[in-house]
A and B are shown apart, each in its own frame.
Chain A
């Protein structure tokens, strides 16, 4: 399969020109970030139980407080009206963009950590997943649980909608990627096991792995799962960054993207750029932005960052990247000169 769908006649960006354009220093290390759909704000989570809304133009920061633990999962509906967050307290919180001073709705969505959320293409539903091994589908307007999907046998690390919004893809700690039909909840498919992204460390007697981030390409046919591979010491984080590409309709792993120089660490964020490349942010060896063309295992460009990157979000215009850094900073990078 061609992993580089139709590229624009004129590329939007020049990855090798990527450079930092802005940084904001917070009081605690950051763990996640997300652009809003209008490019006005970047939301970020930190090691402080609070979500922060950073307004790019004014640099004004507003706290969103309704969680009782760290928040790594967040998203904004396509219309830009609603913010959704899910945290390690298991809560799914809905916020009205016009007034984020208080939560619009708080739902106890998962027992244990809620690790990720995904908003449906029509903006009406949100899927969550967590350590209780469930994937759950919610109605955003009503906060109602529509359906829950059981079948994973370890913590569910990430969830994504397919492009048509009719199915969900979820990956767990042990690398199992499952496909769920929203209309027919009993119909589930074990897509693949991403062996590269999981390991039981027999020395330390624990599992490490899972997709720390997932994204699909332009036509939705390829799913990227970011994580850590070749782990030789789970408890010291001795492993290498990797992104596994899956043709989920064919249940086939098409490529494993790695670093040329075996960069130590974990890929915590991945995105597909309409210019036809994948980008990912990593942590574990000081932080890097990697750029891959999907048909080649090694990167065509990488950028050293000031600090480990724990989350990444591509701007709606696909020209900038926001990165949540471990050194307390939110940084924005522009991919043009």
Chain B
């Protein structure tokens, strides 16, 4: 598979077979075919929910693939040797300035907060993606579950029949691993915002025939269960019921059901459409939604490309935040905007910025996050963090604690225990509401 990054690293290449198998397992998989995965997931929810008492919280992660420049977004340094040509503009938070490329977002910053002191010590795309979304240092031979998988497992409401971990992508990462949590918590991908595969009855199968077929399955199942019922057969049967529930809720994935006015407000750009879809999914209580926006890997003409990319990002993102706030969803929805890393303060000879994990920024807001805060500080030209150094581990803890998950707890998988987040790290407590 072709690499998506300007530096042409290969870390993000994903085997199609792995991707498809994950999708199949997590997405009800053709609803009537591969069914055991989700059934198992749902049967486990009750115990998990009671273990963590997380309530009905949600996480929205906007991933700016390639590494957005902190200097052209959340931590501008205008008129310095590293600052580039853009100016800083005031936001709705007194004293907080962000880059002029984000005028609409600036009007929503009273809902949001900034962490300007990430030092993740990494400039590699693949590693950065893994570390930012798992909260762990990448180690050979060790896989940790993606934030989406953790959220799906811990935040899915009881008997929740939609996928708990949805990735909306036009590009960027395409498979979020669930690791030891099991493939049922892997991402269900909505390619270009299209509904998950196999959630629509094939046209060749009439509704009548489908009902008859299901009735036959139920009769045979009941007959089988009467003699040899086991937990496995129950799970298998349950997965079919969940699949049917999902088929019945297919409209959840359909933004054409939104008003024309809303579709206009979000715009017709890919990211705009995806943000509207994210709102719709969050309104239906999907516990984890990630929207990818690609690409920011601007080794060449960084400034022109940030005009293009952030120009596409700004209005839909601001509209989404505004809507979540107005509809009362933001109080239960944690919002994060992250990348693999930031970009070098030094501007190269091609007007580009390269990979930089030493001093960069992440945005958090909504559920459990103190609004309007700025955590940490970089020096005058952004070359190093001078206050409150944090990394992916701290951010991961903070996100989970913000949605009322005890991130210091453990998953019990079989007889083994796995820490939910890196035990060596802790949340950014002063950012928590």
Residues of A in contact with B (beta carbons under 8 Å apart) = 27-29, 47-49, 68-70, 88-89, 112-113, 131, 155, 203-208, 233-237, 265-266, 283-284, 307-308, 326-327
Contacts and interface: CB of A to CB of B under 8 A. Distances in A.
Contact of A204 (B79, B295, B307): B295
Nearest to A287: B349
A281 to B, nearest CB: 13
13 contacts: A27-B81, A47-B84, A68-B87, A88-B86, A203-B171, A204-B66, A205-B171, A205-B309, A206-B295, A206-B305, A207-B308, A235-B352, A308-B350
A307 B295 contact: no
Nearest to B5: A235
Task: Give 8 closest A-B pairs by Cβ, nearest first.
Answer: A237-B300, A235-B6, A326-B349, A236-B6, A70-B85, A88-B85, A204-B295, A308-B349
A29 B82 CA distance: 11
A203 B295 contact: yes
A61 to B, nearest CB: 18
Given A47-B81, A49-B79, A204-B295, A233 B6 contact: yes
Contact of A205 (B84, B85, B170): B170
Nearest to A326: B349
Contacts of A131: 307
B350 A235 contact: no
Interface residues of B, number: 32
Contacts of B86: 69, 88
A29 to B, nearest CB: 7
Contacts of B309: 205-206
A230 to B, nearest CB: 14
A235 B295 contact: yes
A266 B270 CA distance: 29
A312 B250 CA distance: 59
Interface of B: 2, 4-8, 66, 79, 81, 84-87, 170-171, 270, 294-295, 297-301, 304-305, 307-309, 347, 349-350, 352
Contacts of A284: 349-350
Contact of A203 (B2, B84, B298, B301): B2
Contacts of B297: 204, 235
A205 to B, nearest CB: 6
Given A233-B6, A235-B6, A47 B299 contact: no
A307 B349 contact: yes
A236 B300 contact: yes
Residue in A70, A307, A327 with the greatest tally of chain B CB atoms within 10 Å: A70
Given A205-B294, A205-B295, A283 B308 contact: no
Contacts of A27: 81
B349 A235 contact: no
Given A88-B85, A235-B352, A237-B300, 16 more contacts: A47-B81, A69-B85, A69-B87, A203-B171, A203-B295, A204-B305, A205-B270, A206-B309, A208-B304, A235-B66, A235-B297, A236-B300, A237-B352, A265-B350, A284-B350, A308-B350
A18 B214 CA distance: 84
Nearest to A50: B79
Contacts of B299: 235-237
A52 B86 CA distance: 20
B349 to A, nearest CB: 4
